[in-house]
Structure 1
Amino acid sequence: MSTIVRSACPYDCPDTCGLLIEREHGRAIRVSGDPEHPYSGARLCPKMFHYEKTVHSSRRLLKPLLRNGAKGTGAFREISWQEALCIVAGRWRAIESTHGAEAILPYSYAGTMGLVQRNAGHPLFHALGASRLERTICSSAKTAGLQSVLGNTPAPHPDEVCKSDLVVLWGINAAATSIHFLERVKKARRAGARVWLIDTYRHHTAPSADEVFLVKSGTDGALALGLMHVLAREGLVDLEFLLRKATGYPELARTVLPEHTPERTAELTGIPAPTVERMAREYARARAPFIRLGSGLSRYGNGAMTVRTIATLPALVGAYGKRHAGLLGGISTGSAFALGTILREDFMAAPTRIVNMNRLGQALNELDRPRIMALYVYHSNPAAVAPDQNAVLRGLARDDLFTVVHERFLTDTARYADLVLPATSSLEHADIYLSYGSYCLQRAWPAIPAVGESRSNWDVFTALAQELGLHDPFFRQSADELIDRLLAAPAPLREGIDIGRLAAGIGVELQRPPWPPERFGTPSGTIEILNPREAEPLPRYLPPHSAGDRLPLQLVSAPSPFALNASFYERDDLRAKQRGMRLHVHPAEAAARGLADGQSVLAVNSLGEVAFVLEVTDTVPPGVAVAEGVWWLEFAPGARSVNALTSQRLTDKANGSTFYDNKIDLRAI
């Protein structure tokens, strides 16, 4: 007889859905959405609808594997866990004695979002004195841009959008990355709201919008400034709100906005001047305009400034002072817990070297004093997801680099490992989950026994600590004991939550912040249009890195509804829905090169070349090439995937990735 238990989606998605797991004889046989979850309800995305196919995939790694062939070939033999732990500890001790502990580098990101399993390695690597990883591959520039204007102001609850009369989906493919927020947008639309989509191509969210405005890549900030120019010129600014709640508008209006005429905006963005004027007027007339800001537009060289500029726009019409209006960029709930309880930075004897994860290729090949001699990868696949794939693979192929990969599948990175350790799925270990798209919290217990000999991050790191002779009691507690400690420490955000429902594995809501805020989370307590602590005190337009590149096509490495970065490629059904590794271009671009739909093509730039199947479509404007998903090399039509074309260049602030800030050309194979 089957039973039902609760769990949570562990993937890097803002929704963090509640799951119902039907299990039978120690296996998950069906996964569905939990109708009692306060944000996600019963609906799941296509990726999680058959999560049991991932959990029980025939591709799952079941035992530790030791390399017995050339790196990259995937040649391994099975060994015991004890032998594996001894090898890791022995190699790390030898590297530490010869090169110093900073020659050891951990690499992880968001393959799991649970607070314990995601952060499980930090205490061990701090105690060792290893190099630290600067984890900025996703949206650090976006966060920096928002904080420049709003500081630590809590974001509006996503339900606020339901009663907006103008919803602006700016740089977000919600149909692929935030389906439950899109449900709320559709609710607002049914009630009469108009929905705009501002992006670089017409993607899966476009059918849910009333109008789609396509901007040239990396020019979203110019559009925001152009809209603000019209608002100022036509007297559509809420001066009373700005006087009470903001600082710096007079300086912005006097020194920055005059040059951003509709004509100049059209030149930069590609949106006609009359359309810019109409957008500004309609935005100003809206009772409660609500912007949902994605992260893709922050992955350019000007990413932080772009976000800062867009975040200024709602202030000019007083939207930050209204219900159901304003801007939602992401939700930060880290203060719900004392995360130092997990991270244990106090274990560091002294601050150690920081290595940026976006520059892993440079780090593995060029960094010295000391050189990186050991790499430990967990819940990430840098051979696929890190920029400049050729440099990353060159570094991973070094014979003198000792690489350990803790994984569920033989990924591109695992194929270059000296040692592969089998990892649990989220259904096989304990964790507790916050969300960055809602104010929800959920605790999860193992729903099924570990598959094969797989072990969780927490269990592997505590075992390594014992093997390395680290006897602090911290490393002897279980994941559940650590979760209990987190929950025992009081926090205002958790006041009033239903402890019984949390203990039952049901998602609960944290304290909703008041909206609109009475005081903003900046040092001045106001919206800081002028921020005196910034090198650039006022928002302004900065061109992206690729503005100076001569190649003709802007590459957009976009999300797919049927994958999440490089996750889910173990699933035959989801790969089939993507119809192969495709590059989408406009008919005019194909015709100019004598290329046809379905043809094998080569995308090239100074970093590398990648084979794709061409898809000719008018959903992509001229001058743009869109590659959805981050394919495993095993399933790529050639020897490389999309990140062989993306640069290690960083954003203007916060050292973020610039995945969208690259140009290419095409030719037939």
Structure 2
Amino acid sequence: MSEIQRIPHASHWGAYTLLVRDGKIVGTEAFAGDPAPSPIIHSVKDWADPTHRIKQPMVRRSWLDNRETSRGEDRGREEFVPVSWDKALDLTASEINRVRRDHGNASIYAGSYGWTSAGRIHHAASLLKRMMNLVGGYTGHVDTYSIAAGPVILRHVLGSDDACSGRANTLDTIAEHTETLVVFGALAPRTAQIESGGLGRHTLELHLKKLTERGVKIVLVSPLRDDLPEWVNFEWMPIRPNTDAALMLALAGEIVAAGKHDRDFLERCCSGVDVLLDHLAGKGDGIVKNAAWGESITGVPAEAIRALAKRLPDTRSMLTVSWSLQRAHHGEQPFWAALALASIAGHIGLPGGGVGYGYGSLGGVGAPIGVAKSPAMPQGGKPNPDFIPVARIADLLLNPGDTFTYQGRSYKYPDTKLVYWAGGNPYHHHQDLNRLRRAWAKPETIIVQDPMWTATARRADIVLPASTSIERNDIAGARRTTHIMAMHKAIAPVGEARSDFDIFSALAERLGVGEPFTEGLDEMAWIRRVYNDTREDARLRHQHVMPDFETFWREGIAEVPVREDVTYLADFRENPEAHPLGTESRKIVLGSKTLAKLGYDDCLAHPAFIPPAEWLGDERAKEMLHLVSHQPLGKLHSQLDSSEYSQSTKRNGREQVRIHPDDAEARDIRDGDAVRLWNARGQCLATAQVTDSVRSGVAILPTGSWYAPADESDNALELSGNPNVLTLDVGTSKFGQGCAAHTCLVAIEPYRELNVA
């Protein structure tokens, strides 16, 4: 037996060492400098399992025979024909050229979206966009499924989206100075396991422990009690989903009514204050925004609201708002309302005070802020302007030529003839999957490049098998991490899989742009270049010395320069005139002239509670539950769904849906029962987990289970527990157009066919 090789590597869950013997991964060791490594790293070996891998290029049979005239409705129903790499690449390049020539580059949707690899060189979506930019452009996307409405509104009212992209108060200053911490949504190690581009150190638990040791008053506002670890001492406010903006405004209204608002901060640092104060006083709608009003909407007792409102201005208070809150109908409002509440309490710009967004949503949010250039494969300039808000893909395919609005301007959806999706799985992360299936039939050609036979790959015309990160060399790192990490090739590619860089290099050659695509560099030369770019930037701008490339590649990890103990907007608070914001008033906008002029009914001129399309206050849906589809514990999105760790979080092979004992009793549901969840959009199976950790009226079903319809009918029963057959596919508002996944009512019942006594 040969000796074990130790291979440095990294993924979105952190840095680690792969233990390899005789070409097989036999173990995984976490980076010694990580205080709380993610257990998901031990599932990485399952990427080598050939069970779900695409082993060779494939083409859908009738598309191979009829090309663009084949029936899109047959995607997912037909068998595939294996072809050679040369044939597959020739077909792909020919289709790109045909659509460019006959319909224009805007008819190619290459806004590919996904987390296939933490590696920056083989980042599939970036490579696709780099190639397409060299041949005239494509229709792309803006923002992300994770966070779209939030950054849109913050760019308008704060002048940038820094506060929700990991550049607000760092967690170290919160742990040191905060006296009252209000967590809207979650602050959970479960989601902080993950960071786009990899993560050197997981530190959320360290900071939560310090807050607990200091005896900080912590309030969790969430329908799920374990959105904070059980060892944290906190008060739980089990709120109705989608009503956080109402609670924030009720708190603000109580503070103002008591005369405790920070008049000096509001006058010096904010604009539109009178618009907000008039709304709180009910001058526009006759409804005073106070604790009693807040209770009627949120279900949080008025007494608890008053007590918290009394505490917020009198102690150094910090509001953390999860990204999840803005993934809802009118999702702009809780982000804006939190900013308004923090402004009224008056602690913005003070150590441990104010507001920040996304803490715990990713591991790097709240970590020391990276200040050097991040390693990345450059995409080049985009020659054409065409785009969609990321979650509007089904609208794009179903409604060519229709108008959509975004950030106050109007645009048109192009007529999409070709979709090229690399390294992602919209049949995991998009909403209303039955609607997506109807939309997916519209393009003439769909190309999918992925390591796995995802539901998306199974509904393609051309399938190109990509290798996983353990089968190639790469480099990990991003602006929300303290380290750059080497990703050494550990095993040979599975089947005929090729690296994303090699696939796109071959396509670029066929499209006549091979040299400008590769710039004469191979995989290792690109890794060396992007590392040295970061190293030189760290030296010149920050006097930070990083090891030379050979040392980095051998040791597997290098620290980058960071800023610690950051207080967001400290300079602005001290002197707003000298440090103006990029807003309409150069100050924090609490009443917007721009939005007043636009006159949108779903994004008003001030933060407001606007009843969502579906919620527990809707009298038409008294027997339904509000479905929250949060991130899973055992995997990232749908990656590694078949791994042992992911499967251990399921029951009877299905995702578990958590419901309150009262809701279970009313429906004759027992713990462990198979249940059916359904609404007008779709239906799926899950296994019931009856627990009082979830608020009554709410069901919690994780995302990420691979889409598995019983058949290809219009409303097939989904068998694995994928909540996106149920979720609502509408934009958050005319202004933000973000994903509204958390606005979703469902019915639930025992599924008797599987519940045998």
Query: Taking structure 2 as the reference length, what is the TM-score of the superposition?
Result: 0.78
Q: Map Cα deviations across residues 260-308 of structure 1 (whole Å, 9 max, x no partner).
A: 111001111110110001112233333x333332111101121112111
Give ranges in structure 2 of 5+ residues lacking alignment: 63-73, 194-202, 283-287, 359-364, 402-412, 573-578, 597-603, 711-715, 752-757
Residue type matched to 1:211 in 2?
A: E
Query: Is contact 1:121–1:458 with CA below 8 Å preserved after alignment?
Result: no
Q: 2:28 aligns with which of 18, 28, 31?
A: 31
Q: How do residues 159-558 of structure 1 correspond to structure 2 at under 5 angstroms?
A: 159-163=172-176, 164-172=178-186, 174-179=188-193, 180-203=203-226, 205=228, 207=230, 208-257=232-281, 259-286=288-315, 288-330=316-358, 331=365, 336-337=372-373, 342-346=378-382, 348=383, 350-351=384-385, 353-367=386-400, 371-397=415-441, 401-427=444-470, 428-435=472-479, 438-452=480-494, 453-471=496-514, 473-476=516-519, 477-478=521-522, 479-480=526-527, 483-484=530-531, 486-487=533-534, 490=537, 495-500=542-547, 503=552, 504-512=555-563, 514-516=566-568, 517-519=570-572, 522-523=581-582, 526-535=587-596, 536-547=604-615, 550-551=620-621, 552-558=624-630
CA shift for structure 1 position 660: 0.4
Q: Distance in 1 between matches of 2:592 and 2:536?
A: 35
Query: Is contact 2:535–2:546 with CA below 8 Å preserved after alignment?
Result: no
Residue type matched to 2:428 in 1?
A: A
Correspondence for 2:196: none
Q: Map Cα deviations across residues 597-617 of structure 1 (whole Å, 9 max, x no partner).
A: 333332222212222223332
Q: Distance in 2 between matches of 1:102 and 1:416?
A: 22
Query: Is contact 2:149–2:737 with CA below 8 Å preserved after alignment?
Result: yes
Q: Distance in 1 between matches of 2:462 and 2:701?
A: 32
Greater alpha carbon shift after TM alignment, 532-541 vs 266-275: 532-541
Q: Distance in 2 between matches of 1:506 and 1:229?
A: 50
Q: Distance in 2 between matches of 1:334 and 1:373?
A: 40
Correspondence for 1:120: 127
Correspondence for 2:729: 648
Q: Distance in 2 between matches of 1:664 and 1:393?
A: 20
Classify 1:253/1:362 alpha carbon distance in 2 versus 1 (closer, same or farther; 3 Å).
closer
CA shift for structure 1 position 114: 4.4
Q: Distance in 1 between matches of 2:464 and 2:258?
A: 63
Q: Distance in 2 between matches of 1:501 and 1:80?
A: 41
Identity of aligned residues (%): 22
Correspondence for 2:650: 578
Greater alpha carbon shift after TM alignment, 263-272 vs 300-309: 300-309
Q: Distance in 2 between matches of 1:542 and 1:377?
A: 35
Query: Is contact 1:175–1:561 with CA below 8 Å preserved after alignment?
Result: no
Residue type matched to 2:186 in 1?
A: I
Classify 1:98/1:150 alpha carbon distance in 2 versus 1 (closer, same or farther; 3 Å).
closer
Residue type matched to 1:138 in 2?
A: S
Q: Distance in 2 between matches of 1:121 and 1:486?
A: 22
Greater alpha carbon shift after TM alignment, 492-501 vs 174-183: 492-501
Query: Is contact 1:196–1:210 with CA below 8 Å preserved after alignment?
Result: yes
Give ranges in structure 1 of 5+ residues lacking alignment: 11-15
Classify 1:505/1:497 alpha carbon distance in 2 versus 1 (closer, same or farther; 3 Å).
farther
For 1:54, what is the secondary structure of its paired residue?
A: helix
Correspondence for 2:147: 139
Greater alpha carbon shift after TM alignment, 577-586 vs 323-332: 323-332
CA shift for structure 1 position 420: 2.1
CA shift for structure 1 position 661: 0.8
Query: Is contact 1:21–1:31 with CA below 8 Å preserved after alignment?
Result: yes
Residue type matched to 2:90 in 1?
A: C
Residue type matched to 2:280 in 1?
A: V
Classify 1:175/1:432 alpha carbon distance in 2 versus 1 (closer, same or farther; 3 Å).
closer
Query: Is contact 1:430–1:444 with CA below 8 Å preserved after alignment?
Result: yes
Query: Is contact 2:475–2:485 with CA below 8 Å preserved after alignment?
Result: yes
Query: Is contact 1:424–1:456 with CA below 8 Å preserved after alignment?
Result: yes
Q: Distance in 2 between matches of 1:537 and 1:362?
A: 27
CA RMSD of aligned residues (A): 3.2
Q: Distance in 1 between matches of 2:303 and 2:682?
A: 41
Q: Distance in 1 between matches of 2:481 and 2:588?
A: 23
Q: Distance in 1 between matches of 2:537 and 2:493?
A: 36
Query: Is contact 2:684–2:717 with CA below 8 Å preserved after alignment?
Result: yes
CA shift for structure 1 position 635: 9.1
Correspondence for 1:606: 680
Query: Is contact 2:23–2:492 with CA below 8 Å preserved after alignment?
Result: no
Q: Distance in 1 between matches of 2:539 and 2:261?
A: 36
Correspondence for 1:13: none
Classify 1:498/1:638 alpha carbon distance in 2 versus 1 (closer, same or farther; 3 Å).
farther
Correspondence for 1:60: 53
Residue type matched to 2:262 in 1?
A: D
Classify 1:665/1:107 alpha carbon distance in 2 versus 1 (closer, same or farther; 3 Å).
same
Q: How do residues 6-25 of structure 1 correspond to structure 2 at under 5 angstroms?
A: 6-10=8-12, 17-25=14-22
Residue type matched to 1:572 in 2?
A: E
For 2:685, what is the secondary structure of its paired residue?
A: strand
Query: Is contact 1:167–1:195 with CA below 8 Å preserved after alignment?
Result: yes
Q: 1:51 aligns with which of 44, 53, 62?
A: 44
Residue type matched to 1:20 in 2?
A: T
Q: Distance in 2 between matches of 1:645 and 1:176?
A: 24
Classify 1:649/1:316 alpha carbon distance in 2 versus 1 (closer, same or farther; 3 Å).
same
Residue type matched to 2:571 in 1?
A: E
Q: Distance in 2 between matches of 1:64 and 1:511?
A: 43
Q: Distance in 2 between matches of 1:362 and 1:146?
A: 25
For 2:649, what is the secondary structure of its paired residue?
A: helix
Q: Distance in 2 between matches of 1:630 and 1:241?
A: 44
For 1:633, what is the secondary structure of its paired residue?
A: coil
CA shift for structure 1 position 193: 1.9
Query: Taking structure 1 as the reference length, what is the TM-score of the superposition?
Result: 0.88
Q: 1:87 aligns with which of 91, 107, 117?
A: 91
Task: Check if 1:565 corresponds to 2:565.
Answer: no
CA shift for structure 1 position 159: 1.9
CA shift for structure 1 position 206: 5.0
For 2:701, what is the secondary structure of its paired residue?
A: strand
Correspondence for 1:2: 4
CA shift for structure 1 position 53: 2.8
Residue type matched to 1:99 in 2?
A: H
Query: Is contact 2:425–2:455 with CA below 8 Å preserved after alignment?
Result: yes
Q: Distance in 2 between matches of 1:140 and 1:100?
A: 28
CA shift for structure 1 position 507: 4.8
CA shift for structure 1 position 619: 2.2
Q: Distance in 1 between matches of 2:251 and 2:281?
A: 9
